[in-house]
Amino acid sequence: MGTGTPANKSEERAQRKPSLPFLAPVHSLLAGWIGLVLWLLLLLLLALYPYTGVSSVALFVGSQIFVLVTLASNWNLIGGMTGYVDFGHAVFFGIGAYIMGILVTGAPLLISPEWGFWQALPASGVAAALFALLVGLPTLRLKGPYFSIAMLGTLVAMREIARVLRPFTGGGVGLNLPPILNRLGDYYLMLAVMGLVVSLIWWIQRSQFGQSLIAIREDEIGAEMRGINTTLHKIAAFMIAAFFTGIVGGFWAWQNTYIDPDVVFVEARTVEMVMMSMLGGLGTVWGPPLGAVVIYYLQDLLWANLYDRHLLALGVLLVAIVLFMPEGILGTLGDRSSTSLGRLLSRVGRSK
Amino acid sequence: MRLILKLASLLLVASLVLAACSLAPPAPVDEPAVAASAADEEKIIYLGAAVSETGKFSREGKDTRQGYGLWLDWVNNEYGGIKVGDDRYKVELIMYDDEGDPDTAARLVEKLINEDRVDFLLGPYSSFLTQSASAIAEKYGKIMIEGNGAAEPLFQRGFQNLFAVLTPAINYTRSALQLLAERGAKTVVIAYEDTAFPTSVADGAQHWAAEYGLEVLGVETYPVNVADVSGIMSKFKELEPDIFVGGGHFNDAVLFIRAAKELDFNPKAMVITVGPSNPKLIEEVGVDTEYVIGPTQWEASMSYADGYFGTAAEYAERYEKMWGEPPTYQAAESTATALALHIAIEQAASLDTAAVRTALRNLDVVTFYGPINFDEKGRNAGKPMGAIQIQDGEILVVAPTNAAVTELNYPAPPWKDR
């Protein structure tokens, strides 16, 4: 949350000639109540946005961005705050999507009558959370890269299982959902989900629960010694992240009207979540949402200008983030001395 | 005190958010942004398409774009614009790159309909992207005519605005199986990739096998991007079928042929989708492709013709002149897609969606690409699927009889006698 303790050198430097003096206080303010108030104000503006007479395309773009923000924030809860880098988080998206698909079509399971969207949506989240409990119990015991690889394996395994369980999932042919599209409804639904998730993360970060998660990230054995029930905390964080990812997956299946194993259980979606969180600032509240918005527009920009090299460009960007600003945009702005780009910025500011 | 203030302001903002949400917001404004431009001197029909230029369908997307592009160039510069009653309309085609990504494709189709205000939509490449794109077109009541999505589920959703000029996947193996049954084949085995399009092909193969009195000895599926099919092939070897049907993509054709030779599996005919009609298969596998049969939507050697592009061969010549490479069938069906819409608009003598939809439903024409006649689900029921066989390193049409250029070689000799 706070700005951390700046190194003495950079403190001196900041006192001598602060290049962008408003940044550090802004960073710390955002982590507090003011951040939440600003966030709610932003939500209010976004809620009013459709009144300005925008086209359905703008609403659709809006709901797509809300989806990305929600996914990135969810990933950040387990990957950033708890420090368990989940390379298979898209598995919860896929499970949510499939639960939605199976319940609303009803056909593969011969459920009669078919469920409505509003009944199936919470079920998507619950199913994903239960699945998180199931895989979390064994995998969250693993540390570091072992957990990442186990989750990646889970994702690939679920994709194959979805392919094999043809009577339920339609196999590789996939499922066609009823083509009912409502861009305005989608916009408000995803705005609400995003608002809820980000506010929840803000609250978690300030709560004892969140502090315990951070303690687990910094020193799991130490946290355990101090009486934190680490297993319970990790599972809880994992299930919360999975629940909302499942909700988003269910929503996505509904608005895309078509799912198959290769379109919902896809590694690229996890990579996207990781990139957004890292670009914005791992473990911060506002970093992942910021990263999601930046990446969304950056992708558009790269695609528009680089055609078939946009994936290369994104890859280079990811490497650059890791090398030059491992703490993301917010981390770099908040405590510049900790990253090479931040130091570079300070140097440039000083030489002016 | 400060805490109370904070909480109060928080509650205020939260309630404002809730209030904003609970008010009924106006429907999205989908009015034409440039309605005034209707007063233009020149009359223009706007068409839109989101087709892959990048991503996993970039290769086929390019063929699709070139197919549309050929028709566009011809209709504006040579034909003089689409005739609507007494007027001539120029055509403007707005094309975007969907990147092979369903989210992007959906956004672009939404944009084409509600921001660019196109009159009609042309389809993307692949059944996969057509699934979500056609749902959006249906929602807004826009006609989407396509030539690159053949999977059966597309046509089982009761859509009124989706039309496809290509032969549906269930009919892919029909001509080949009919011909083989006539030549004395009795039994068949089927292997297919577990995705939408090959599944439809295989379901169709079982249906037509029963229709022509062929006994289905075995059916196997395999996952997408399979690396080895020898397990399936050795199982089939024991069944000793007359016909092997393989449904998948280009690389699967390579695997099937190689595994059959390695295992000395000797069906009297191998019918494989997608691969054989592509000259690259002969380059890659060589002489072992002899006798292999493949369904094809279209070949330049077919004997179809129309009053627009002339014969299939003339179309191919025109295409090669414009793009510097011979047309694939994906390109030809894309041109035919646009042409079918063109003919329907002229027959309707109107740009009104309902009138054009009726004209499309009643359409019954023969084009360079073959007959076009849509059934009530929007599939082209009029066009039979062709079949080619590789003979002496050449891809030659053997079915249907009115388009065939040579006789089918049947049965294929066992591998050891070649």
Structure confidence at residue B138 as a pLDDT band (50, 70, 90): very high
Structure confidence at residue B126 as a pLDDT band (50, 70, 90): confident
Q: By three-state DSSP, how is residue B206 classified?
A: helix
Structure confidence at residue A324 as a pLDDT band (50, 70, 90): confident
8 A C-beta contact, residue A326 and residue A279:
no
User: Cα torsion for A202, A208, A212, A218, to the nearest 10°?
Assistant: 60
Structure confidence at residue A352 as a pLDDT band (50, 70, 90): very low
Residues B71 and B157 in one domain: yes
Find chain A residues with C-beta within 8 A of B110's C-beta: 56-57, 60, 183
In angstroms, the CA B383 to CA B69 distance is 23
pLDDT given for residue B17 in this prediction: 52
pLDDT given for residue B111 in this prediction: 92
HSE value, Cβ hemisphere, 13 Å, CA-based, for B239: 22
Classify residue A346: in a domain, yes or no.
yes
Structure confidence at residue A290 as a pLDDT band (50, 70, 90): very high
| Domain containing residue A193: CATH number | 1.10.3470
Residues B343 and B395 in one domain: no
**Per residue in B65-101, pLDDT tens?**
999 999 999 999 999 999 998 889 999 999 998 888 8
pLDDT given for residue B60 in this prediction: 83
Residues B342 and B283 in one domain: no
Classify residue A244: in a domain, yes or no.
yes
Residues B400 and B268 in one domain: yes
Residues B99 and B160 in one domain: yes
Q: Is B102 on the interface with A (CB under 8 A)?
A: yes
Q: Position of tokens 């998948």? A: B248
Task: Count Cβ atoms below 10 Å from residue A138 Cβ, excluding itself.
Answer: 9
Find chain B residues with C-beta within 8 A of A56's C-beta: 28, 30, 110, 114
In angstroms, the CA A119 to CA A108 distance is 18
Q: Please answer yes or no on whether B196 and A179 come within 8 Å at the CB atom.
A: no
Identify the residue with better confidence: B10 or A94. A94
Strand partners, B49: B95
Structure confidence at residue A342 as a pLDDT band (50, 70, 90): low
Find chain B residues with C-beta within 8 A of A307's C-beta: 53-54, 97
Classify residue A214: in a domain, yes or no.
yes
Residues B51 and B99 in one domain: yes
Structure confidence at residue A169 as a pLDDT band (50, 70, 90): confident
Classify residue A285: in a domain, yes or no.
yes
In angstroms, the CA B401 to CA A21 distance is 82
pLDDT given for residue A335 in this prediction: 60
Residues B177 and B154 in one domain: no
In angstroms, the CA B220 to CA B241 distance is 14
Residue B84, exposed/middle/buried by CB under 10 A (0-12, 13-18, 19+)? middle
Structure confidence at residue A264 as a pLDDT band (50, 70, 90): very high
Report the mean per-residue pLDDT for chain B.
87
**Per residue in B199-252, pLDDT tens?**
889 999 999 999 999 999 999 988 877 888 999 999 999 999 999 999 887 888
Identify the residue with better confidence: A74 or A21. A74
Structure confidence at residue A25 as a pLDDT band (50, 70, 90): low
pLDDT given for residue A107 in this prediction: 60
Given a cut of 70, is residue A305 above it in pLDDT?
no
- Over residues A124-147, the mean pLDDT reads 92
Alpha helices in B78-184 (DSSP H): 102-114, 127-139, 174-182
Q: Please answer yes or no on whether A303 and B27 come within 8 Å at the CB atom.
A: no
Residues B399 and B265 in one domain: yes
Given a cut of 80, is residue A351 above it in pLDDT?
no
Which of B5, B12, B103 to probe by mutation at the A interface, max A CB count within 10 Å? B103
Q: Is A57 on the interface with B (CB under 8 A)?
A: yes
Residues B291 and B413 in one domain: yes
- Rounded to the nearest angstrom, the gap between the alpha carbon of residue B139 and the centroid of all alpha carbons in its chain is 21
Angle CA B198–B201–B202, to nearest 5: 90
Task: Count Cβ atoms below 10 Å from residue B141 Cβ, excluding itself.
Answer: 12
In angstroms, the CA B413 to CA B284 distance is 21
**pLDDT-wise least confident of A150-154, A215-219, A277-281, A301-305:** A301-305
Q: Is the bond preceding B400 in cis, omega lying within 30 degrees of 0?
A: yes
- Over residues B340-364, the mean pLDDT reads 94
Amino acid at position B91, single letter? V
Total length of chain A: 352
In angstroms, the CA A266 to CA B358 distance is 41
Q: Is A56 on the interface with B (CB under 8 A)?
A: yes
Q: By three-state DSSP, how is residue B222 classified?
A: strand
User: Cα torsion for A24, A29, A35, A36, to the nearest 10°?
Assistant: 160
Helices (H) and strands (E) in chain A, counts: 18, 2
Report the mean per-residue pLDDT for chain A.
83
Strand partners, B387: B295, B399
Strand partners, B146: B164
Structure confidence at residue A1 as a pLDDT band (50, 70, 90): very low
Classify residue A1: in a domain, yes or no.
no
- Over residues A37-55, the mean pLDDT reads 90
Domain that holds residue B212: 171-296+385-417
Find chain B residues with C-beta within 8 A of A255's C-beta: 106
Structure confidence at residue B335 as a pLDDT band (50, 70, 90): very high
Q: Is B160 on the interface with A (CB under 8 A)?
A: no
Q: Please answer yes or no on whether B196 and A173 come within 8 Å at the CB atom.
A: yes
Structure confidence at residue A307 as a pLDDT band (50, 70, 90): low
Amino acid at position B74, single letter? W
Q: Is B131 on the interface with A (CB under 8 A)?
A: yes
Strand partners, B44: B90
| Domain containing residue B412: CATH number | 3.40.50.2300
What total of structural domains would you count in chain B?
A: 2
Name the phi and psi angles at A155, rounded to 5.
-60, -50
Which secondary-structure segment (H or E) carries B145? strand B144-146
Q: By three-state DSSP, how is residue B386 classified?
A: strand
Classify residue B26: in a domain, yes or no.
no
Amino acid at position B159, single letter? F
- Over residues B23-52, the mean pLDDT reads 65
Q: Is the bond preceding B241 in cis, omega lying within 30 degrees of 0?
A: no
In angstroms, the CA A162 to CA A99 distance is 11
Task: Count Cβ atoms below 10 Å from residue B30 Cβ, excluding itself.
Answer: 17
Structure confidence at residue B197 as a pLDDT band (50, 70, 90): confident
- From B136, B193, B195, residue closest to A181, measured CB to CB: B136
Domain that holds residue A286: 8-351
Structure confidence at residue B128 as a pLDDT band (50, 70, 90): confident
In angstroms, the CA A184 to CA B27 distance is 7
Given a cut of 60, is residue A78 above it in pLDDT?
yes
- From B99, B135, B224, residue closest to A262, measured CB to CB: B224
Give the closest-approach CA distance of B50 to chain A in angstroms: 14
What total of structural domains would you count in chain A?
A: 1
Residues B151 and B179 in one domain: no
Classify residue B329: in a domain, yes or no.
yes
Q: Check residue B380 and report its DSSP letter.
A: B
Q: Please answer yes or no on whether A183 and B156 come within 8 Å at the CB atom.
A: no
8 A C-beta contact, residue B142 and residue B161:
yes
- Over residues A111-128, the mean pLDDT reads 86
- Over residues B391-408, the mean pLDDT reads 87
Classify residue A2: in a domain, yes or no.
no
Alpha helices in A207-309 (DSSP H): 208-218, 220-225, 230-256, 261-264, 267-280, 287-306
Residues B409 and B291 in one domain: yes
Given a cut of 50, is residue B35 above it in pLDDT?
no
Angle CA B15–A75–A115, to nearest 5: 65
Classify residue B15: in a domain, yes or no.
no
Give the Å distances, CA to CA, from A257 to A116, B106, B381.
Answer: 14, 10, 26
Classify residue B4: in a domain, yes or no.
no
Residues B395 and B265 in one domain: yes
